[in-house]
């Protein structure tokens, strides 16, 4: 049931309009409305709820029930700025109330200290725009804890010797171990590594209105029909609605932020469900549209004062895109694991989080996890060993044997921030609303590829030690597809080298704030959502104090 | 992580990439297709095909039965895949009508060419059928490309039938939108029909004693 919401008129100047209702937007909506402000959340996608979530792979993966639609919102891709970009689906994100947090894996590692200070620690890296964050892990720690307790994260404090300091344990124990997790744990220990129960944004114990995980196995890619996955939909959005001051307005596709003569944002212009243009007035604008759509919206909002895009005096809006690097190794075991039951990941290790660049010859680090996140059709079409029969008795045999016996080791690593890697507006291609489509430019930094190959070698050792009867790893290649959308409006002290300050306020427009994956200065080692949510809790505190001190233009 | 082989990519684009037509938003039709397969499967009245002529349906069923054959366990035939495909072709996979119509026509010529005197695929021996499909598969895949690679929107007849057969065999049987009659596809691959499970899940976690801190946990050796 959706609680009663206020209905604000578009002409009514609310305190905040928030664009996007995902990991960051949901939390900002909850916090700002909870702090007494009147909030309108504009979400481009529909408002679906648990009753709409099904285990149908065709509906979810082929018809994009929960995600951006490649026909309505096509995009282009190129490797370098010298190339003409070609139409090619290059990114996926959640396009509904709750955003990508509705369908994500829910791996919820915190970033470590090194992620915030890597530049100072190791110096510049050739071909990368390394920078420290203007905040540290210690600044963010209370907000990581807030995410764990308020949104709901299961895990075991102190289980990893590499974990950064924490002020409180997890609010609930880890999810049960899966057979693949047991294999991973035993093999890793044999190798002298330190596996630990995966921190997951999935409930191991029920909370009011939400069930604990029932291990249905339709997790990554799917919405959770029992509310166990701690999406913004199942958590922050509902809390925001309960304040009575927050309106969630779905099917509202924002395409412009307007400024007044004094250079202040006056609200957001959007297409409603019938494609009529609406203008929601607000005292301040918070953009949480993700690391692709946030820079796109700023570029679409170019005006006389900001001919290169709103809040883009630095010229770096959309740049320094980071996707996270990695690799995958798959193994098949003698006995059934049945890892199709349950959530995706039950064991992780962080022994390689901080590597020595001097010794290895590349920057970065990463983590490994034990994973099975396939559903039957995707497994049959995409997860059999290379060279397997594609049809016939041989196909049926390998499919029937492997489905219950397969385990994957995923490697998650850093991407270095490269200026050319970016989201920008395609000069030719338009979306179904006639707006310039996203153009992605991406070529992995050479260190990212070296790291991916190095981690893949460790994962191979692990599967070997686990006793896999057969295993294979595709070569690590340059990426052409984005899931993690990071770094495109980076945070920093210098207005010439960053888009927002540590309060998430744009350097150029004082009542315009950005908070989502675009805010990140470094990529972490994968699993960015936990950090995006911690940033959102912190941003809400900062924005609230600015507003209460009267420092936001009214 | 996301190189070109990652799960996320497979999930988000691999399937969609198989057939652009499937990407079109025709979900309610999907429900209907599944219901059709179920009704036909349950023998509630005679199966009535909506797109395929009966002789075409015989051919499609014969092809799907070689893609996932009936062995000591059920195959595409028992899962009612042909009914699933027929309904799909007048609803969410309408864009594939031409691929099927032209593909079936070319198949007939191909059968005659390879096995003179044999008029249709379903009339060939099983060995001959496999030989025919093998030649189509070689034509279509360019030598066995990986199924999770992106494909052009216009994909071959054989590849389209192959993907539709796998989908019709393995789609969730508990939802009201499936082929996979009586869940036989899931039984074949060893997936229990339920949607709620309790640990232990498999062989290796049966006697797991619970997570214990590692005795060497204090050793923070960097690599």
**Is B201 an interface residue toward A (CB < 8 Å)?**
yes
- Is the predicted pLDDT of residue B197 greater than 90, yes or no? yes
pLDDT of residue B93: 86
Mean pLDDT of A327-332: 98
Q: Give all strands (DSSP E) within A14-105, no chain letters.
A: 14-19, 39-42, 75-78, 86-87
List C-alpha distances in Å: A309 to A31, A86, A473, A509.
Answer: 29, 23, 42, 12
SS (H, E, C) B162-195: HHHHHHHHHCCCCCCCCCCHHHHHHHHHCCCCCC
In a domain, A13, yes or no: yes
Contact status, residue A205 vs residue A358, Cβ threshold 8 Å? no
Query: Taking CB atoms and an 8 Å cutoff, what residues of chain A touch B166?
Result: 377, 380-381
pLDDT of residue A553: 64
Determine phi and psi for A15, rounding to 5 degrees: -70, -45
Cα–Cα distance measured from residue A222 to residue B5, given in angstroms and rounded to the nearest whole number: 20
Mean pLDDT of A269-277: 98
B153 CB burial (10 A radius; 0-12, 13-18, 19+)? exposed
pLDDT of residue B155: 65
**Is B205 an interface residue toward A (CB < 8 Å)?**
yes
> Which residue reads 């979306």 in tokens?
A431
In a domain, A235, yes or no: yes
Q: Where are the alpha helices (DSSP H) in B71-125?
A: 81-89, 97-114
pLDDT tens-digit readout, A142-176:
999 999 999 999 999 999 999 999 999 999 999 99
Our CA dihedral for A173, A174, A177, A183, rounded to 10 degrees, sits at: -130
Query: Taking CB atoms and an 8 Å cutoff, what residues of chain B touch A161?
Result: 214, 217-220
Q: Which of the pair, B154 or A133, is modelled with greater confidence? A: A133
pLDDT of residue B154: 45
In a domain, A462, yes or no: no
**Is A395 an interface residue toward B (CB < 8 Å)?**
yes
Task: Select from B1, B5, B26 the Cβ nearest to the Cβ of A412.
Answer: B1
In a domain, A199, yes or no: no
Interchain proximity B191–A352, CB inside 8 Å: no
CA proximity to A270, closest of A20, A500, A517: A20
In a domain, A181, yes or no: no
Radius of gyration of chain A (CA): 22
Q: Which of the pair, A261 or B149, is modelled with greater confidence? A: A261
CA proximity to A545, closest of A516, A502, A508, A509: A502
Point out which residues pair with A468 in neighbouring strands: none
List C-alpha distances in Å: A331 to A304, A372, A385, A461, A506.
Answer: 57, 11, 9, 11, 47
Q: Give all strands (DSSP E) within A23-74, no chain letters.
A: 39-42
Mean pLDDT of A245-274: 97
**Is A393 an interface residue toward B (CB < 8 Å)?**
yes
> Does the model's pTM come out above 0.80?
yes
Contact status, residue A59 vs residue A65, Cβ threshold 8 Å? yes
Cα–Cα distance measured from residue A64 to residue A516, given in angstroms and rounded to the nearest whole number: 22
Count of structural domains, chain A? 1
Mean pLDDT of A321-349: 98
pLDDT of residue B31: 38
pLDDT of residue B219: 47
pLDDT tens-digit readout, A362-376:
999 999 999 999 999
Q: Which of the pair, B27 or A232, is modelled with greater confidence? A: A232
In a domain, A343, yes or no: no
Domain that holds residue A257: 1-111+135-153+230-317+488-554
- Is the predicted pLDDT of residue A291 greater than 70, yes or no? yes
Q: Which of the pair, A274 or B137, is modelled with greater confidence? A: A274
Cα–Cα distance measured from residue A338 to residue B198, given in angstroms and rounded to the nearest whole number: 12
Contact status, residue A255 vs residue A298, Cβ threshold 8 Å? no
Identify the band that residue A271 occupies on the pLDDT scale cut at 50, 70 and 90.
Answer: very high
Q: Which of the pair, A479 or B87, is modelled with greater confidence? A: A479
Is the ipTM higher than 0.90? The answer is: yes
Contact status, residue A452 vs residue A325, Cβ threshold 8 Å? yes
Query: Taking CB atoms and an 8 Å cutoff, what residues of chain B touch A56?
Result: 30, 171-172, 175, 177-178
| Proportion of chain A above pLDDT 90, given as a percent | 97
Mean pLDDT of A96-110: 97
In A, residues 40-69, which contact B (CB 8 Å cutoff)? 54-59, 61-65, 67, 69
List C-alpha distances in Å: A327 to A90, A138, A364, A409.
Answer: 18, 30, 14, 8
Cα–Cα distance measured from residue A381 to residue A375, given in angstroms and rounded to the nearest whole number: 10
Q: Where are the alpha helices (DSSP H) in chain B?
A: 7-9, 15-18, 27-42, 54-67, 81-89, 97-114, 126-141, 157-170, 184-189
Cα–Cα distance measured from residue A543 to residue A541, given in angstroms and rounded to the nearest whole number: 6
Determine phi and psi for A47, rounding to 5 degrees: -100, 95
CATH (domain of A306): 3.50.50.60
Cα–Cα distance measured from residue B183 to residue A393, given in angstroms and rounded to the nearest whole number: 19
- The mean-pLDDT minimum among A105-119, A485-499, B55-69, B168-182 falls in B168-182
To the nearest whole number, what is the mean pLDDT of chain A?
Answer: 97
Identify the band that residue A21 occupies on the pLDDT scale cut at 50, 70 and 90.
Answer: very high
Interchain proximity B1–A410, CB inside 8 Å: yes
pLDDT of residue A217: 96
Cα–Cα distance measured from residue B110 to residue A84, given in angstroms and rounded to the nearest whole number: 41
In a domain, A431, yes or no: no
pLDDT of residue B88: 86
pLDDT tens-digit readout, A187-246:
999 999 999 999 999 999 999 999 999 999 999 999 999 999 999 999 999 999 999 999
B122: helix, strand or coil: helix
Mean pLDDT of A439-461: 98
Q: Which of the pair, B179 or A78, is modelled with greater confidence? A: A78
In A, residues 185-244, which contact B (CB 8 Å cutoff)? 185, 189, 192, 194-197, 214-218, 220-221
Query: Taking CB atoms and an 8 Å cutoff, what residues of chain A touch B191?
Result: 340, 376, 403-404
**Is A352 an interface residue toward B (CB < 8 Å)?**
yes
**Is B152 an interface residue toward A (CB < 8 Å)?**
no
Six-digit token pair at A102?
């509705």
The DSSP H or E segment spanning A183 is helix A179-190
Mean pLDDT of A448-474: 98
In a domain, A521, yes or no: yes
Identify the band that residue B215 occupies on the pLDDT scale cut at 50, 70 and 90.
Answer: low
């Amino acid at each position: 049931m959706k609680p009663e919401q206020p209905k604000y008129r578009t002409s009514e100047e609310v305190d905040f309009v928030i664009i996007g209702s995902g990991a960051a937007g949901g939390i900002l909506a909850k916090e700002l409305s909870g702090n007494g402000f009147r909030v309108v959340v504009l979400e481009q996608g529909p408002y679906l709820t648990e009753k709409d979530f099904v285990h149908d792979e065709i509906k979810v993966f082929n018809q994009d029930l929960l995600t951006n639609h490649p026909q309505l919102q096509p995009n282009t891709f190129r490797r370098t700025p010298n190339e003409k970009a070609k139409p090619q689906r290059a990114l996926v994100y959640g396009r509904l109330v709750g955003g990508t947090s509705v369908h994500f894996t829910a791996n919820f590692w915190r970033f470590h200290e090194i992620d915030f200070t890597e530049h100072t620690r190791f110096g510049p890296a050739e071909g990368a725009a390394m920078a420290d964050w203007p905040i540290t892990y210690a600044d963010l720690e209370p907000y990581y804890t807030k995410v764990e307790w308020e949104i709901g994260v299961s895990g075991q404090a102190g289980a990893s010797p590499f974990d950064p300091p924490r002020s409180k344990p997890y609010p609930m124990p880890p999810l049960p171990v899966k057979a693949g997790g047991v294999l991973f744990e035993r093999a890793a220990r044999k190798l002298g590594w330190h596996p630990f129960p995966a921190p997951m944004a999935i409930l191991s114990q029920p909370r009011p209105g939400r069930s604990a995980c029932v291990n249905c196995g339709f997790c990554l890619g799917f919405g959770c029909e029992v509310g166990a996955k701690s999406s913004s939909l199942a958590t922050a959005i509902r809390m925001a609605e309960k304040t009575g001051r927050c309106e969630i307005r779905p099917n509202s596709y924002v395409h412009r932020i307007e400024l007044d003569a004094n250079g202040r944002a006056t609200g957001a212009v959007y297409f409603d469900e019938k494609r009529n243009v609406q203008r929601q007035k607000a005292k301040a604008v918070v953009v949480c549209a993700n690391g692709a759509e946030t820079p796109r919206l700023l570029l679409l909002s170019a005006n006389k004062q900001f001919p290169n895009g709103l809040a883009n005096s630095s010229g770096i809006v959309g740049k320094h895109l980071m996707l996270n690097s990695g690799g995958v190794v798959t193994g098949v075991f003698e006995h059934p694991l049945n890892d199709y039951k349950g959530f995706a990941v039950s064991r992780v290790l962080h022994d390689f989080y901080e590597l020595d660049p001097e010794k290895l010859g590349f920057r970065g680090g990463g983590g490994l996890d034990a994973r099975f996140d396939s559903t039957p059709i995707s497994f049959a079409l995409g997860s059999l060993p290379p060279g397997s029969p594609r049809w016939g008795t041989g196909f049926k045999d390998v499919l029937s044997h492997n489905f219950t016996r397969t385990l994957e080791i995923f490697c998650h690593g850093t991407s270095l921030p490269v200026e050319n890697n970016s989201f920008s507006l395609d000069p030719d291609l338009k979306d179904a609303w006639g707006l310039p489509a996203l153009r992605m430019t991406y070529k992995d930094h050479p260190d990212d590829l070296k790291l991916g190959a190095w981690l893949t070698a460790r994962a191979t050792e692990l599967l070997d030690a686990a006793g896999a009867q057969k295993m294979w790893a595709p070569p690590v290649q340059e990426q052409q597809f984005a899931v993690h959308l990071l770094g495109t409006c980076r945070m920093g002290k210098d207005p010439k080298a960053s888009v927002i300050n540590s309060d998430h306020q744009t350097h150029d427009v004082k009542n315009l704030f950005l908070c989502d994956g675009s805010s990140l200065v470094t990529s972490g080692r994968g699993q960015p959502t936990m950090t995006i949510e911690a940033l959102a809790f912190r941003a809400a505190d900062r924005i609230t104090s600015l507003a209460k001190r009267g420092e936001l233009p009214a | 992580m996301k190189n070109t082989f990652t799960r996320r990519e497979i999930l988000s684009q691999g399937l969609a990439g198989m057939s652009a037509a499937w990407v079109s938003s025709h979900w309610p039709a999907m429900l209907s297709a599944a219901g059709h397969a179920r009704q036909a499967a349950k023998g509630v009245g005679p199966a009535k095909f909506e797109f395929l002529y009966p002789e075409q349906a015989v051919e499609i069923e014969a092809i799907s039965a070689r893609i996932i054959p009936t062995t000591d366990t059920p195959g595409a035939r028992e899962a009612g895949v042909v009914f699933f495909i027929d309904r799909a072709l007048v609803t969410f996979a309408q864009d594939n009508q031409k691929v099927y119509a032209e593909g079936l026509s070319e198949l007939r010529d191909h059968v005659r060419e390879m096995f003179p005197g044999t008029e249709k695929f379903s009339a060939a021996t099983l060995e001959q059928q496999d030989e025919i499909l093998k030649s189509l598969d070689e034509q279509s895949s360019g030598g066995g490309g990986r199924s999770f690679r992106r494909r052009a929107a216009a994909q071959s007849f054989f590849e389209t039938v192959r993907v539709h057969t796998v989908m019709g065999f393995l789609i969730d049987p508990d939802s009201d939108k499936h082929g996979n009659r009586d869940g036989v596809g899931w039984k074949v691959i060893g997936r229990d029909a339920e949607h709620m499970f309790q640990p232990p899940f498999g062989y290796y976690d049966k006697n797991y004693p619970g997570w214990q801190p590692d005795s060497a946990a204090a050793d923070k050796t960097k690599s």
